[in-house]
Chains A and B, each alone.
Chain A
Amino acid sequence: MTTDPRSVAGKRLEIAERTQILIVGAGPAGIAAARHAHRGGAQVLLVDEHPVPFETMGESVPQIWGGRMGGAVRNRNAMTERMLEARPDLVELFEAGIDIRLGTACWGLFANQPNLGWMPGLVAGLVDEGQGSHLVGFDQAIVASGRRDMGLAFPGWDLPGVLGAGAALMLARLYDALDSRRAVMLGSTPEALLAALDLIDAGVTIAAVVEQAATPAAPEDLVARIRAAGVEIVTGEAPRGVTSDADGVTGLVLRNRTIPCDSVLLGVGAVPMIDLLHAAGARCAFDNDRGGFVPLLGTGGETSLPGIRAAGDCAGIWPAKTADPALAEAEGRLAAGAALAALGLADAPAENAPQPGPAADLGEYRKAWVRASVVEAVAEMPVCQCEEVTAREILEVSPPRYLNAPHLPNLTRSLTQILGEGPPDPDQIKRLTRAGMGPCQGRRCREQIQALLALQEDLSLGVVPLAGYRSPVRPISLAAAAMPEDPAIAAAWDSWFGMPRQWVPFWDVEEHYTVAALATEKEHVSE
């Protein structure tokens, strides 16, 4: 059997270690999964990217931190200790002997599937600030990567002090390093109001909740709790801008008033963090009742990729789950039970995963916010902060400014005329305008662009495809991304395919090509 020497055939991946069950994310779902899997007799590796390196946080990865992480987050040891205080369950798992790695991000999951056949089983890429990247082989993975906040542009949203509602909560609770005393919450979803209540608990003053709609989005009991906490709810308003000083935001400007605050919290959408799963090739679909694009899951939390499961917020977000970690924990246990069963260590779990009830129209709500805040903004601002692309540039599909290209005659054209038929694809927009192409990996603009395109073409939100995620789903330096490598890879390395006749100059090509004739060697095997 001949193998092509320059292909992957016969080349090994250097797998540094193996585990039976890999769990990504040490929140309620991940911790519950780890505990259950460990008790069930499996070898477990639990990784969590927190504490996230300061530099990475500066890029709004994996959350929109908005520059409001206090100086304490630079001290990684202190932050690790702080995390253990905040999550006493983790200490218990450490003590039980589970292999837990904090400050370790999973940047990729790799599984054989159509167009990929050389993975030696399931493989994960991990990176740790000190040690760089390495690969872990696993039998089962449970991704419990949590949630992040939908970004929402308005003039000044790129200043320090505009951060995600969930990010603020994480800084307050997990890091004890939220650099904000007085905040305004944008959005009145149950997730936003629950975050507001928790932040009040953590000592933050919530100056107001601002909602573009005429009435709050959350149910009345939650609204009553917010009011009881003394928080004003301003309806029918969207941010017109901010006031600021050298430290960032000092106030949120509304139509007729300015609310003094040192931070503005983005609470218009809590988004399942599916980056790792989607990049791995797990099938995802828009689900109104689960907070947007989520992986398609079976009863044991299994994705379309055998051996890879999802639990917790990355599998779907709904009010009851936000209010009570027990739901995420139940999902974690169930996924772990199913993983144990797949390993032959237990019977398949009998219970069912918690299910969301029908939710209000999430698409209409997000679109309404994007209309009120982005489309009706009184000044131009970037929607994609990394690449500085405005809403107008996105909708006109303008080439980036550095090209100094003459203005394209796209203003008067519909997106269908510009891009061709079919729902406008955010990935095509990204390729042409660069919106979503920067170091934050589209975390701040992805959902806004989806809503902008849906608004422009009058489509329901879920019809606009997901802008794809690609590994590495966390930015990693070239130096840290380099991993140990099979010497066979280096030995056969070629810039292209290394075909014996590909680069032979045309005046030297024989009339007929046969494999047999390759016995006569020519130069130009590689280029």
Chain B
Amino acid sequence: MSANNPIPGIDAGDDNRGAPVIVIGGGVTGLSTAFWLAEAGVDVLVLERGITGWEASGRNGGGCSHHHSPLFAEEQRLWPMMDELLGYPTEFRPNRIRIALSPEQFALYGRAVANARKQGFRADDLDAQTVRELVPLAGDNVHAGHYYHFGGHANPHRTVQAYAWALRDRGGRLRQHVTVTGFRRQGDRVTAVETDKGVFGCDHLVIAAGPQTGRLAAMLQVDIPMRAARAEMIVTEPLPLMPLGGIDGNGLYGRQTLRGNLAYGGGPHEWVETEEQPGGPRPSTPLAGSIARRVAELLPKAAHARVIRSWAGIIENTPDGRPVIDRPAPWQNLTVATLSGVGFGLSPASGRALMQLVMRGHCDFADLSSLRLARFDRLEPDWDALQGWLPAAMASA
């Protein structure tokens, strides 16, 4: 069956033309998947409820160093070539210095180093003096640091749009302001996607809808345990560029942007009710003050820099905080992806893995067994309450 053949009840207008592969979600995961599919010559359509990258994909720290993930090696291989591959700038910059202000922080940050070294990546220990030489805004409070010769950071906005533009350049389509509301199926196949703008036929469906992935999959009787949380970041006015922008530590993630702003996050998150549809308020809170305090500790010579904005994003989380990238039974033509809070940096690799899952049923460059849905087969039904992951209102009810 081809999606371009009319399906009963489907509006055959050109705008509402289905596609061999439909991807739900115009965040980094969905767009990277669609990009890789288009690159492989597949006719792909992305359906997005709002605008490109409006959710977590446009609100994150831009970090690309996921040493714990089976996709780490591919993440590291791909980032340096993404600008060229996509044809648009992502502002990717390699490497990172992680600053520890105490021996405890140094020990904690050493674990990432151990993981990376084990996979053949280089990291150097830095003494306080060297940190200060490499990081002009650092101060006398430095204990020590690590120099990662891997990882790095990119600009989330530019990256997510680069995927979208690269997709378009390869003939793929992205429809914005289209909300998926349901599915049509025939036996063990999903045949079409129902939306507020009509029905779109598909041969294969990818659900990459961030926090809504679980809710959408549940409509197909696939249970992906998930909970959503809000996290916040702040950004300062631009400061003179440091030699390396990838500077973090002291309990913060973030970077100096190529424009010079300091953009950092960290600290407590809040468990929230998963929205029926995304697009509600994304309030930030006075936690900005706690983040500001720690940025000023991390980079004391920037203490005068003015905070000009804060923001918040809603993060998709599975019970163990690890992605689900899988083709769930019993469906013959369904792929699901939720990245569980590490999706930005992994996106070049997750998209490529998902492309392979769609086209061949397996990934040939990474062992994705730890990302299978089946790992939750024995999960306690009240896992979220047991982990304290219920929103405040529900917890007290």
8 A Cβ contacts from B276-324 to A: 280-290, 292-296, 302-312, 314, 317, 319-322
Question: Is B187 an interface position by the 8 A CB rule?
Answer: no
Question: Is B377 an interface position by the 8 A CB rule?
Answer: yes
Q: Which residue of A lies closest to B311 (CB)?
A: A470
Contact at B288–A405, with CB atoms within 8 Å? no
A125 CB contacts on chain B under 8 angstroms: 286, 289
8 A Cβ contacts from A285-302 to B: none
8 A Cβ contacts from A1-47 to B: 1-9, 11, 13
Given contacts A280-B283, A477-B307, A481-B307, 18 further A-B contacts (CB under 8 A): A1-B395, A5-B388, A8-B268, A114-B275, A115-B230, A123-B286, A439-B308, A478-B305, A482-B289, A485-B289, A493-B266, A493-B290, A499-B320, A502-B68, A503-B115, A505-B67, A512-B379, A514-B378
A434 CB contacts on chain B under 8 angstroms: 259
Question: Is A65 an interface position by the 8 A CB rule?
Answer: no
Question: Is A471 an interface position by the 8 A CB rule?
Answer: yes
Question: Is B121 an interface position by the 8 A CB rule?
Answer: no
Q: Which residue of A lies closest to B236 (CB)?
A: A478
Instruction: Say what secondary structure dominates the interface of chain A.
Output: loop
Contact at A506–B367, with CB atoms within 8 Å? yes
Q: Which residue of B lies closest to A421 (CB)?
A: B176
Question: Is A358 an interface position by the 8 A CB rule?
Answer: no
Contact at B272–A472, with CB atoms within 8 Å? no
Question: Is B140 an interface position by the 8 A CB rule?
Answer: no
Contact at B308–A110, with CB atoms within 8 Å? no
Interface residues of B (CB under 8 A from A): 48, 51-53, 58, 67-70, 88-89, 91, 108, 111-112, 115, 118, 157-158, 161, 164-165, 174-177, 229-230, 234, 236-238, 248, 251-253, 258-259, 266-273, 275, 280-290, 292-296, 302-312, 314, 317, 319-322, 340-342, 367, 370, 375-380, 383, 385-389, 391-393, 395
B385 CB contacts on chain A under 8 angstroms: 1-2
Within the complex, the shortest CB–CB distance from B350 to chain A, in Å, comes to 14
A403 CB contacts on chain B under 8 angstroms: 89, 91, 258
B282 CB contacts on chain A under 8 angstroms: 115
B310 CB contacts on chain A under 8 angstroms: 470-472
Q: Which residue of A lies closest to B46 (CB)?
A: A420
Question: Is A479 an interface position by the 8 A CB rule?
Answer: yes
Question: Is A509 an interface position by the 8 A CB rule?
Answer: yes
Within the complex, the shortest CB–CB distance from A209 to chain B, in Å, comes to 34
Contact at B268–A511, with CB atoms within 8 Å? no
Q: Give Cα distance in the complex from A1 to B91, angstroms.
A: 44
Within the complex, the shortest CB–CB distance from A122 to chain B, in Å, comes to 12
Contact at B89–A515, with CB atoms within 8 Å? no
Within the complex, the shortest CB–CB distance from A355 to chain B, in Å, comes to 28
Most buried by A among B88, B164, B177, B289: B289
Q: Which residue of B lies closest to A525 (CB)?
A: B108
8 A Cβ contacts from A140-194 to B: none
8 A Cβ contacts from A486-527 to B: 489, 492-497, 499-506, 509-516, 523-524, 526-527
Question: Is A248 an interface position by the 8 A CB rule?
Answer: no
Contact at A7–B290, with CB atoms within 8 Å? no
Asked, given contacts A116-B283, A512-B378, whether A527 binds B252 with beta carbons under 8 Å apart, the answer is no
B270 CB contacts on chain A under 8 angstroms: 7-9, 116-118
8 A Cβ contacts from A441-489 to B: 441, 470-472, 475-479, 481-483, 485, 489
Closest 8 CB pairs of A and B: A502-B321, A482-B293, A431-B157, A4-B388, A481-B292, A475-B306, A499-B321, A483-B289
A349 CB contacts on chain B under 8 angstroms: none
Question: Is A432 an interface position by the 8 A CB rule?
Answer: yes
Q: Give Cα distance in the complex from A499 to B296, angstroms.
A: 26
Q: Which residue of A lies closest to B250 (CB)?
A: A495
B380 CB contacts on chain A under 8 angstroms: 514-516
Question: Is A77 an interface position by the 8 A CB rule?
Answer: no
Query: Across the A-B interface, how many residue pairs have beta carbons closer than 8 Å?
Result: 274
A475 CB contacts on chain B under 8 angstroms: 237, 306-308
Q: Which residue of B lies closest to A114 (CB)?
A: B280
Question: Is A411 an interface position by the 8 A CB rule?
Answer: no
Q: Give Cα distance in the complex from A263 to B53, angstroms.
A: 42
Question: Is A425 an interface position by the 8 A CB rule?
Answer: yes
Question: Is A319 an interface position by the 8 A CB rule?
Answer: no
8 A Cβ contacts from A375-400 to B: 387, 399-400
Q: Give Cα distance in the complex from A118 to B392, angstroms.
A: 7
Contact at A513–B253, with CB atoms within 8 Å? no
Contact at A110–B341, with CB atoms within 8 Å? no
Q: Give Cα distance in the complex from A244 to B267, angstroms.
A: 50
Q: Give Cα distance in the complex from A471 to B234, angstroms.
A: 9
Q: Give Cα distance in the complex from A5 to B180, angstroms.
A: 35
Within the complex, the shortest CB–CB distance from A93 to chain B, in Å, comes to 28
Question: Is A223 an interface position by the 8 A CB rule?
Answer: no
B387 CB contacts on chain A under 8 angstroms: 2, 4, 515
Within the complex, the shortest CB–CB distance from A282 to chain B, in Å, comes to 10
Q: Give Cα distance in the complex from A432 to B156, angstroms.
A: 10
Which of A4, A281, A428, A485 contacts B52, CB < 8 Å?
Answer: A428
B258 CB contacts on chain A under 8 angstroms: 402-403
A4 CB contacts on chain B under 8 angstroms: 271, 387-389
Asked, given contacts A115-B272, A506-B370, whether A9 binds B267 with beta carbons under 8 Å apart, the answer is no
Which of A405, A425, A471, A478 contacts B295, CB < 8 Å?
Answer: A478
Q: Which residue of A lies closest to B380 (CB)?
A: A515
- Of the A-B pairs whose beta carbons lie under 8 Å apart in the complex, a sample of 23, sorted by A's number, is A7-B271, A9-B395, A114-B275, A115-B280, A281-B283, A438-B308, A470-B311, A472-B309, A475-B307, A476-B306, A477-B305, A478-B302, A482-B296, A493-B294, A494-B267, A501-B322, A502-B341, A503-B115, A505-B68, A506-B70, A512-B378, A514-B383, A515-B387
Q: Give Cα distance in the complex from A94 to B309, angstroms.
A: 33
A497 CB contacts on chain B under 8 angstroms: 229, 269, 317, 321, 341
Q: Give Cα distance in the complex from A360 to B390, angstroms.
A: 51
Q: Give Cα distance in the complex from A280 to B386, angstroms.
A: 32
Q: Give Cα distance in the complex from A441 to B67, angstroms.
A: 36
Which of B157, B319, B340 contacts A432, CB < 8 Å?
Answer: B157
Question: Is A113 an interface position by the 8 A CB rule?
Answer: yes
Q: Give Cα distance in the complex from A249 to B69, angstroms.
A: 59
Within the complex, the shortest CB–CB distance from B90 to chain A, in Å, comes to 10
Within the complex, the shortest CB–CB distance from B267 to chain A, in Å, comes to 6
Contact at A419–B236, with CB atoms within 8 Å? no
Question: Is A408 an interface position by the 8 A CB rule?
Answer: yes
Q: Give Cα distance in the complex from A489 to B289, angstroms.
A: 12
A514 CB contacts on chain B under 8 angstroms: 378-380, 383
A482 CB contacts on chain B under 8 angstroms: 289-290, 292-293, 296
Within the complex, the shortest CB–CB distance from A280 to chain B, in Å, comes to 8
B320 CB contacts on chain A under 8 angstroms: 499-502, 513
Contact at B321–A422, with CB atoms within 8 Å? no
Question: Is A317 an interface position by the 8 A CB rule?
Answer: no
Q: Which residue of A lies closest to B177 (CB)?
A: A422
Contact at A439–B302, with CB atoms within 8 Å? no
Asked, given contacts A493-B251, A512-B377, A523-B111, whether A441 binds B230 with beta carbons under 8 Å apart, the answer is no
Q: Give Cα distance in the complex from A2 to B266, angstroms.
A: 22
Which of A1, A118, A509 contacts B370, CB < 8 Å?
Answer: A509
Contact at B164–A420, with CB atoms within 8 Å? yes
Contact at B266–A496, with CB atoms within 8 Å? yes
A8 CB contacts on chain B under 8 angstroms: 268-270, 287
Q: Give Cα distance in the complex from A520 to B89, angstroms.
A: 44
A2 CB contacts on chain B under 8 angstroms: 385-388
Q: Give Cα distance in the complex from A481 to B294, angstroms.
A: 11
Question: Is A119 an interface position by the 8 A CB rule?
Answer: yes
